[in-house]
Chains A and B, each alone.
Chain A
Amino acid sequence: MTRFILGRLVKSVFILLAILILNFFLIHAAPGDPAAVMAGEAGAADEKFLADLRTKFGLDQPLYVQLWIYLKGAVQLDLGFSFRQQMPVADLIWDRLPATLLLTGAAFVLSLVMGVIAGVAASARQGTWGDTVISTLALLFYATPLFWVALMAVVVFSVWLGWLPGFGFETIGAGYTGFARALDIGKHLILPATTLGLFFMAIYTRMTRASMLEVSRLDFVKTARAKGLSRGVIQRRHVLRNALLPVITLAGLQAGQVFGGAVLTETVFAWPGIGRLMFEAINQRDYNVILGVFFVSAAMVLLFNLITDVIYVFVDPRIRLTE
């Protein structure tokens, strides 16, 4: 096991490096560069201004030199400097990471828990109207554009009802500390986390339902019934556990895609997270920030893939880890 994990980690380092190089070229293929964007925002520029910026950013060097410099930094875990924000990329990411992790973490837990519960409920009522309602709702959440849901949620819960704050990470200037602050952040979290979670919740619901139905047809469920176990116990102890296996795979995938899914939500809810940072960085061609975020995202995906694999071993004793 330790050998397996270590092996995977070593492999991951090489994959990350390869990904970094490919990303580097991918990003540089897009037209425009950070200097031009910044000049564009200034509303005026001349050759000197642009040339100064490019020299400052090191963009006047040949691409391979830039790549080399970047890689040299990256292997020492130095992700470079943000051209635009004039801060180390690592600091920028580090600043934004907690908010994103909180948001996606909350959305993840919410979608997983609610999705599984709804899926179990639907499968238990298979064929009844309860099942139909849950399944239809799941499909509805699945097929509705995220930004539409987000805006509607804000309009209803924030503007009309005034129950929840519609955007932001916390009440700015309120000066809360300790528990009051946690509560405040929690309130701000509800709408974005729910919106972000809805989509995945829909998927988990469908998946859990299908998987539950599949598993309840298996022979060992009959064995459990023959023991005289009640329905509830059977569902919980025998069916659910087995039905969760495919859900875990999917959850691993979702957990890895921390940043991607959050772009729209973070934008709509003014959540100071990485998704937004990434999106803005792409628009501004802030190469180092994009690469940095992609790097962290890649590391995250690889990490969660590994975690999923390890969890699998704990949940399913049949699975053996092979290098």
Chain B
Amino acid sequence: MSLLSIRDLTIALPEGADRDYAAQDIDFDLTPGEILCIVGESGSGKSMSANAVMGLLPEGVKPVSGRIDFDGRDILGLPEKEMLALRGGRISMIFQEPLSALNPLMRIGAQIEEVFEAHGALTRPERHEQALRLLTEVGIPDPQTAIRAYPFQLSGGQRQRVMIAMALALEPDILIADEPTTALDVTTQAQILDLIENLRQKRQMAVIFITHDFGVVADIADRVIVMQTGKIVETGSADKVLLRPEHPYTKALIDAIPRLTGGHTGSKNEPSEPVLSVEGLYKTFSTGSGKLFGKRRVVEAVQDANFQLYKGETIGIVGESGSGKSTLGRCLVRLINPSKGRVLLDGEDIAHMPGAELRERRRRIQMIFQDPYSSLNPRSRVSCILTEGPIAYGTAPGDARNRAGELLELVGLDASAMSRFPHEFSGGQRQRIGIARALALDPAIIIADEAVSALDVSIQAQVLDLLADLKARLNLSMLFITHDLRVAARICDRIIVMQKGRIVETGPASKVLHDPDTDYTRSLLAAIPGQEYEKALAGAE
């Protein structure tokens, strides 16, 4: 007997959107205790379909046909009042973005207790007790403190767990999780997946899980739905879809999954001059505390970093969230000033170089930013984004434009892209513009900070290929910051593992990923989802 059944659901988008329907003819069932994974490219309508079940479509987006039966009742036409009772009570949802999904001005505890309050459950002290229990259950360290904390005082992973606690508060029949782990590092991700799995077993909770991480899908899914531009293109049991895909799109997706093994064929680094060498680098942040009368807090984000980057080499920097990866990268391009230590670029120390001189050196070392959205000025056209750097360094505007055209071609974009604004591109395309911008100055070194983590696998694969290709063609050196070890495996020659600001392990990629020296690295490796599946895939090939 199915708990939820969706029939011919079509969701219309408002005028001016990229297409007419966010989702079309969606058809699926969900039985109690089942985990259904929805995968597919970005913008394919995954989130909209899920939101439709909650009755929480954004303004202007409306279901125009079909039905959603929950417990034998069509909930599409349900009056708001009855929907209120379902929401949070019998169906609950975890949203994509944990950073902004919590009210910044409310304490964590209050936000959880609110769920009970909304459904008139329990007395005040009981609610508090339950909130505490839930926080403990989702594995938040020191729940007594966390319950009184504000969202900004928690890490991304902790916030995501608070969201999960909220969603689980009333033991719903259905949990909808929209990319709940995308922003998390592998260890945290593993914990959360365990938690969901536990709950399902204990409470017969059905789960709709949206993700683009196939490792995760492989680990948890009973059934899988693949979506593309608003339509379901393939559906079936996890085994069938993952191992014996039928639809070409599914096949393409699965082909694009990065592998821990095999992907990258060793390094051909003949020991040459290091283009960049880092010696004894430290970065310490000190911040006032948020609490009244509080003390100053000191964060040692990077401690005693030492390494060399050789010409044509790619180094991956991996490690859990908050381990200092980004800080290290930013110190190298001097977006932040290191506290101590030297950064030798072509033998010159740029760690403490003053403005004008630094500016001259800077074009040799460029950065690709994590978020393709926020790293492009929303009010600049692509042509401007790509040419202003070279022009600032004295290239004639005409030449810069020509070069920009070439670069766009190089990163696989049409020259017509020149006159468009960033918002007119997809995430993957935007990331390519970011890459083109970094290349526009003909740098010797590129620092890529989580350059692909926001992208879905197929686009991720494209971008990674592109980077590898460019690197080979232009003989670039690259520092690749990521928390996805599969991605690191795919592109890096050497890997640096960071933990709490320190470099704990360095070595060739194959060594670090398969025969690590430290326990920390081993725990990271163990947490990678979908390892079984990867083997199965490898076996199938």
Interface residues of A (CB under 8 A from B): 1-2, 218-220, 222-231, 233, 237-238, 241-242, 313, 315-322
Contact = CB atoms under 8 A, between A and B. Distances in A.
Interface in B62-110: 80, 84-89, 92-93, 95, 97, 100-106
Contacts of B287: 320
Contacts of B105: 241-242, 315-317
B289 A225 contact: no
13 contacts: A224-B114, A227-B88, A228-B115, A228-B119, A229-B84, A229-B118, A230-B118, A231-B80, A315-B105, A316-B104, A317-B105, A320-B287, A322-B288
Nearest to A225: B56
A225 B86 CA distance: 11
Given A242-B105, A316-B105, A321-B288, A226 B87 contact: yes
A228 B80 CA distance: 10
A226 B170 CA distance: 12
Interface string B147-165: 0001011000000000100
Contact of B293 (A1, A218, A228, A318): A1
**Which 10 residue pairs of A and B lie closest in terms of their CB atoms, listed nearest first?**
A228-B88, A228-B87, A227-B88, A317-B150, A219-B100, A1-B292, A228-B118, A320-B288, A220-B103, A229-B118
B262 interface: no
A238 B93 CA distance: 18
Contact of B95 (A222, A228, A316): A222
Contacts of B495: none
- Describe A's contact surface by its main secondary structure: helix
Interface in B239-297: 287-290, 292-293
Contacts of B87: 225-228
A59 to B, nearest CB: 50
Given A227-B115, A228-B118, A313 B292 contact: yes
Contacts of A319: 290
Nearest to B107: A317
Contact of B102 (A223, A228, A233, A316): A223
A222 B56 contact: yes
Given A219-B100, A227-B166, A228-B119, A317 B88 contact: no
B166 A318 contact: no
B69 to A, nearest CB: 20
Contacts of B138: none
Given A227-B166, A233-B118, A322-B288, A219 B101 contact: yes
Interface string B388-412: 0000000000000000000000000
Interface residues of B, number: 36
A131 to B, nearest CB: 15
B455 interface: no
Contacts of B317: none
B150 A219 contact: no
A309 to B, nearest CB: 13
Given A223-B95, A226-B56, A320-B288, A242 B103 contact: yes
A139 B213 CA distance: 52
A227 B101 CA distance: 12
B221 interface: no
Most buried by B among A231, A319, A320, A322: A320
B333 interface: no
B290 to A, nearest CB: 5
A241 B101 CA distance: 16
B206 to A, nearest CB: 17
B54 interface: yes
Given A227-B115, A317-B152, 20 more contacts: A1-B293, A219-B100, A222-B101, A223-B102, A223-B166, A226-B87, A226-B167, A228-B88, A229-B114, A229-B118, A230-B84, A237-B106, A237-B114, A242-B103, A315-B105, A316-B104, A316-B105, A317-B153, A318-B290, A320-B287
A91 B503 CA distance: 69
Contacts of B102: 220, 223
Nearest to B55: A225
B100 A220 contact: yes
Interface of B: 54, 56, 80, 84-89, 92-93, 95, 97, 100-106, 114-115, 118-119, 150, 152-153, 163, 166-167, 287-290, 292-293
Contacts of B152: 317-318
Contacts of A222: 56, 95, 101
B101 A223 contact: yes
B104 A228 contact: no
A219 B104 CA distance: 11
Contacts of B115: 227-228
Contacts of A219: 95, 97, 100-101
Contacts of A318: 104, 150, 152, 290
Nearest to A241: B105
A225 B95 CA distance: 12
B163 A223 contact: yes
Given A223-B163, A228-B86, A2 B293 contact: yes
B119 A220 contact: no
Contacts of A241: 103, 105-106
A317 B95 contact: no
A202 B36 CA distance: 52
A218 B102 CA distance: 10
Contacts of A322: 288
B290 A228 contact: no
Nearest to A221: B103
Given A242-B104, A317-B105, A226 B88 contact: yes
Contact of A220 (B104, B153, B293): B104
A245 to B, nearest CB: 8
A317 B106 CA distance: 9
Contacts of B95: 219, 222-223, 226
B291 to A, nearest CB: 9
Nearest to A229: B118
B103 A228 contact: no
A115 to B, nearest CB: 20
A2 B115 CA distance: 37
Contacts of A220: 100-104
Contacts of B163: 223
Contacts of B288: 320-322
Contacts of A223: 95, 101-103, 163, 166
Contacts of B56: 222, 225-226
A318 B287 CA distance: 12
A222 B54 CA distance: 10
Contacts of A315: 105
A242 B104 CA distance: 8
B151 to A, nearest CB: 9
Contacts of B167: 226
A219 B100 CA distance: 6
Nearest to B99: A219
A226 B119 CA distance: 12
Nearest to A318: B152
B100 A218 contact: yes
Nearest to A314: B292
A209 to B, nearest CB: 16
Contacts of B166: 223, 227
Contacts of A230: 84, 118
Nearest to A244: B105
A262 B291 CA distance: 38
A111 B85 CA distance: 38
Given A313-B292, A317-B150, A226 B114 contact: no
